[in-house]
Chain A
Amino acid sequence: MVTLLQQLVNGIVLGGLLAFITLGYTMVYGIIQLINFAHGEVFMVGSYAALATYLWALPSGIQSTWYLALPIVILAGAAFSVLVAVIMERFAYRPLRNAPRLAPLITALGISVFLQEAVRNFFPDGTRPKAFPEVFPEGQLTFLGVTVPASGLLLVVMAIILTGALQLYVNTSKLGRAMRATAQDPDTARLMGINPDRVIVLTFILGAALAGVGGVLYGVHYDNINITIGFQNGIFAFTAAVLGGIGSLRGAVVGAFCIGLIKTLAGQYMPGGTAYDYVWIFVILILVLVFRPQGFFGETERVRA
């Protein structure tokens, strides 16, 4: 029983982490029907940017004061992720806006490899995993024998606050309305005077900011980062987006928590244990694609007159 509860806690923490990435996947897909496979890398560079900021920009007095260091590295990570995403959209995806869909997809895979190799080559000793600094107090709550690490709690609370804020923004602000309009019917959105370039950039910025924050919190929670965390978690997040219904914000969050729970529970209870927990995620992906390709909240068909 304690094991089950413990795994549920671990799954929720992983789900919160994935939610940061999944939203960017699903929003970009919603607007331009691009599966941005480089989005996981945006998460990874956020993590490395936070590490670099901590190591080389923060004076030791701030380094040791977590309540100053944490917000600074989170903002640095998010800012760098946004920068990378904006450059990527402007120079890689925008020129391919009217190209066949396969072209931007392959470009996305290329950018993914490029960003991983860039970090490997330019970060000192980039091939080796890096210890992430202590920017949040070690500590844990113990409740009925279940351990909830403080960093995990931080991660889940931040995920809930930021995904909620994003939904509120998209559903109530003027630019959020323009985003939804562009996702539903790009031509008619243009007839309303909406500049699609601006909406697309905004979408990349929002998705990247969340991914960057997620990348930093990944480091805070798991203590170690390496250049493959983006690819790995990006694939899980992609599966979560498909499960929730790609294009749906609500679906992205629900899907992320489902995938987090499936991975940890399968690692505990399914044959093969943690060595095979990835397998179950992809089994879910295949089942969803076969039996319910629109996911939980996706639409069966885009309505186009």
Chain B
Amino acid sequence: MSALLEVRGLTVAYGAIEAVRDISFVVETGQIVCLIGANGAGKTTTLRTISGLLRPRAGDILFDGQSIANQPAHAILGAGVAHCPEGRRLFARMTVEENLLLGAYTRTDDGVTTDVQRVYDLFPVLGERRHNKAGLFSGGEQQMLAIGRAMMSRPRLLMLDEPSMGLSPIMTQKIFDTLADLKAQGTTILLVEQNALAALALCDRGYVVDLGRTTLEGPGHELLADHRVRAAYLGEG
């Protein structure tokens, strides 16, 4: 096992407010790692900094041993990090197909058409309505499209921010099953979730983020059994 992504002492601030303070974690190749924690804990900020949308104030981000901390977002995607953002952020006025092609924007190889077809095979509802505008789909279908779009760049690391947000339990399960499939196909995944139960059950390693720091870490099943996690995030007193 080797570290694909290593975040070291990362601090990110909006003006005077530090949303992330000295956070550190490691994502090993082939693993699913999740960050759980309450709203405002700094999880989304962490992902946005890794993908280059925000600049760190301190600390470093290593991808495959190379620092990507001050690279522009398009270069980080090019290096192999895809970010499926919170709220899905599809291009609502473009078609399913256009969204997928945008996911493959940096690619120049001729496998793009095949990969579009693979997304349609994985999510048939998208293939059937490929020329419909993305904004017309249900939340679950949009999330599938958002994941499909992120996978179109053939990333080595897929980061997902709250993929279960606003979805029914059945749809959430379907999304998490998809993530397990993607892992089985060799994609390394960094997952941010408020649905701690589902996320910890799925992941190899979890980190609890609280007020911009990691407070607990361990294998997913151990965290799931930890009484502090159960009290704070799984609604058990």
- Is A33 among interface residues, defined by CB-CB distance under 8 A? no
Indicate if the CB atoms of B101 and A190 lie closer than 8 Å.
no
Measured between beta carbons, the chain B residues less than 8 angstroms from A184 are: 91-94
- Contacts across chains A and B counted by CB atoms under 8 Å: 65
**Which of these, B53, B77, B91, contacts A193 with CB under 8 Å?**
B77
Chain B residue, CB-CB nearest to A180: B94
Chain A interface extent, by class: 10 to 19
Chain A residue, CB-CB nearest to B51: A191
Measured between beta carbons, the chain B residues less than 8 angstroms from A305 are: 86-89
For chain A, residues 190 to 212, give those with C-beta under 8 angstroms from any C-beta of chain B.
190-195
Q: Which of A174, A181, A188 is packed against the most chain B CB atoms within 10 Å?
A: A188
Indicate if the CB atoms of B78 and A177 lie closer than 8 Å.
no
- Is A275 among interface residues, defined by CB-CB distance under 8 A? no
Indicate if the CB atoms of B94 and A188 lie closer than 8 Å.
no
Given the contacts A181-B102, A303-B92, A191 and B86 also touching, CB distance less than 8 Å: no
For chain A, residues 283 to 304, give those with C-beta under 8 angstroms from any C-beta of chain B.
303
Chain B interface extent, by class: 20 to 34
- Is A187 among interface residues, defined by CB-CB distance under 8 A? yes
Indicate if the CB atoms of B93 and A193 lie closer than 8 Å.
no
**Which of these, B82, B98, B106, contacts A177 with CB under 8 Å?**
B98
- Is B213 among interface residues, defined by CB-CB distance under 8 A? no
Indicate if the CB atoms of B74 and A193 lie closer than 8 Å.
yes
- Is A217 among interface residues, defined by CB-CB distance under 8 A? no
- Is B85 among interface residues, defined by CB-CB distance under 8 A? yes
Indicate if the CB atoms of B89 and A192 lie closer than 8 Å.
no
Interface string of A22-63 (1 = CB under 8 A from B): 000000000000000000000000000000000000000000
**Which of these, B86, B88, B102, contacts A178 with CB under 8 Å?**
B102
Interface residues of B (CB under 8 A from A): 51-53, 72-74, 77-78, 82-83, 85-89, 91-94, 98, 101-103, 105-106, 149, 153
A-B contact pairs, 19 of them (CB 8 A): A177-B98, A178-B102, A181-B91, A181-B94, A184-B91, A184-B94, A185-B91, A187-B85, A187-B89, A188-B85, A190-B53, A190-B73, A191-B89, A192-B102, A193-B73, A193-B77, A195-B72, A195-B74, A305-B87
